[in-house]
């Protein structure tokens, strides 16, 4: 793997209107985010999260899932730092502190994570085309850098986004859960790199950092 690998995060439309954090009693309300509709379970989950953490770090903040997470965290009154290769003024307008950087650069990752007490590692390169390094650099080395930064900065909570591709070997799947074993063979570099990264995350789970 080489340090000049990159990760591409495509911008998507943001459905949440800019606002200031308004406190937990307004999660899902118009003052928190006029176009963000949260059901009762989401509100309860955000309420519980905001009681435990104050500053979240989101990799891949510019992607579809990353933006959705940022929206909800901001609505809960949680400070958010987003990390992405691109520039996302719509997230900054929402109240997210955006940092441009590359997951394969450990110093950039560590510096951006300063002051955070939870990390949502959402960023990855997905797809089926490209060589091995184009997937393993951002997905495996990037995950290793996130884990190392969490340990160095004593960040106690790390949430990792995996993929169903880690169990898929070409046959239909239904009724599976986290106990389903990894595929006996991976169909592409994306699935293989994500399986390795997921194992790293599970191995990193300890008293000081919960993954």
Q: Are 56 and 96 in contact (CB under 8 A)?
A: no
Q: HSE, CB side, 13 Å, CA atoms: give it for residue 98.
A: 20
Calculate Rg over the CA atoms of the chain: 17
Contacts of 42 (CB under 8 A, 6+ apart): 28, 72
CB 198: neighbour CB atoms within 10 A? Answer: 20
Task: Find out whether 165 and 191 touch, Cβ atoms under 8 Å.
Answer: yes
| Closest C-alpha among 113, 101, 119, 204 to residue 160 | 119
> Is 190 noted as a catalytic residue in this protein?
yes
Furthest C-alpha separation in the chain: 49
- Active-site positions? 190
């Amino acid at each position: 793997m080489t340090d000049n690998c990159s990760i591409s995060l495509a911008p998507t439309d943001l459905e949440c209107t800019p606002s200031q954090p308004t406190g937990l009693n307004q999660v899902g309300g118009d003052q928190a985010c006029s176009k963000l509709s949260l059901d009762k379970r989401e509100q309860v989950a955000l309420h519980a999260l905001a009681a435990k953490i104050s500053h979240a770090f989101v990799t891949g903040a510019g992607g579809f899932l990353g933006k959705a997470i940022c929206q909800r965290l901001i609505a809960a009154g949680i400070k958010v730092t987003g990390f992405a290769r691109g520039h996302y003024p719509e997230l900054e307008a929402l109240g997210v502190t955006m940092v441009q950087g590359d997951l394969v650069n450990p110093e950039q990752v560590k510096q951006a994570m300063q002051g955070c007490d939870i990390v949502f590692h959402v960023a990855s390169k997905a797809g089926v085309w490209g060589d091995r390094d184009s997937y393993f650099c951002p997905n495996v080395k990037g995950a290793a850098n996130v884990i190392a930064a969490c340990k160095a900065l004593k960040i106690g909570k790390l949430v990792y986004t995996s993929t169903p591709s880690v169990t898929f070997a070409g046959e239909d799947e239904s009724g599976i859960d986290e106990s389903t074993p990894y595929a006996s063979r991976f169909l592409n570099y994306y699935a293989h790199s994500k399986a390795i990264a997921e194992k790293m995350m599970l191995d990193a789970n300890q008293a000081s950092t919960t993954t």
